[in-house]
Amino acid sequence: MKHLVVLTGAGVSAESGLSTFRDSDGLWQQYDVMELASIQGYRRDRSKVLAFYNDRRNNLLTVQPNHAHHVLSELEKVFKVSIITQNVDDLHERAGSTNVLHLHGELRKVTGSMNPNDPKCIKELPLDQPIRIGDKAADGSQLRPFIVFFGESVPNMPKAAKIVEEADIFIVIGTSLVVYPAANLVKYVPRESPCYIIDPGNFDSSLTHGFEHIKTTAVAGIDILKEKLFDNQGL
C-alpha cells in the first residue's frame, strides 16, 4: 500500500459547522486570543479560559463529520493513511479514520496544569461534563484542556515530521499554511512524492512549489482528489 499522509486544518472542520479561528468571522475576531488561548492567559484567569474551552467542548456535541472526513476514512481501504491534524475536534476519528495525530491537542481530553504532557495526567472527559476549578489531575494539579496553548511547544512535531518523511503521497486540506510550526511540515515531504492542496485560498509559493492546487473547499475538492489518486494508481 502507498503511504498517504494528510495534513488537515480548520477548513475541514468548518464545513461541519465548527467556527475557525483566523477567518474574517472566526473566533479570534470575537475573542482575545492571548486572554483565552495562551499559557499566560491561563495563568492569569483560569476560570475564563476554562469557560471558553467548556463552550468549545459543548459545541463539539452539535456537529458531525462531513463528506471530506468520511472519504479520508474510506481511503484506508486502498492506502495506508496517516492524518496529521491541526484541529482539536474528533471528527476524523468519528468518521472512522484510525491513524490520527493531533498537533494542537484534543478537546475530548483533559490533563494537568503542572505537567500537561505527562501521560498519567491525560484522560478523556465527556464533552457534556465541564472542567471546573478544583478538579484535579493525577498529579494533584488543576485539570485543564488537553490543548497546546499559545506560548507552549508542540510536542508532536517531531513525530509528525517523521511521518511526513515517509509519505509516498502528501496532501494538505483546509489549511492556509500560515500556522507554525505545522506549516514547516511541507519541508519534510520526500522530493519525489506527489503533493496536493485542497483549499480555496492562495499560498506562499516557496512552501508549495510543485503542489497541485485544487482550489475549492474540502467537501467539494475531496472527490476531485480521490479521482486523481485512483487514476494515478490505476484503480
Express each pLDDT in 10-26 by its tens digit: 999 999 988 755 544 54
Residues serving a catalytic function are 104
Nearest to 207 by CA among 228, 182, 232: 182
Average pLDDT over residues 138-145: 98
Confidence of residue 194 (pLDDT cuts 50, 70, 90): very high
pLDDT at 91: 97
Q: Are 30 and 99 in contact (CB under 8 A)?
A: no
In this predicted structure, what is the pLDDT of residue 20? Answer: 59
* pLDDT tens-digit map of 159-190: 999 999 999 999 999 988 877 788 889 999 99
Q: What rounded mean pLDDT belongs to the chain? A: 91
Per-residue pLDDT band at 113 (split at 50, 70, 90)? very high
Amino acid at 55: D
- Give the separation between CA 100 and CA 85, rounded to whole angstroms: 7
Cα atoms in the 13 Å half-sphere on the side-chain side of 120: 7
Biggest CA pair distance of the chain: 58
**Domains defined for the chain, CATH in brackets:** 1-18+65-104+153-235 (3.40.50.1220), 20-62+108-147 (3.30.1600.10)
Q: How far from 95 is each of 39, 91, 166, CA to CA, in Å?
A: 31, 6, 24
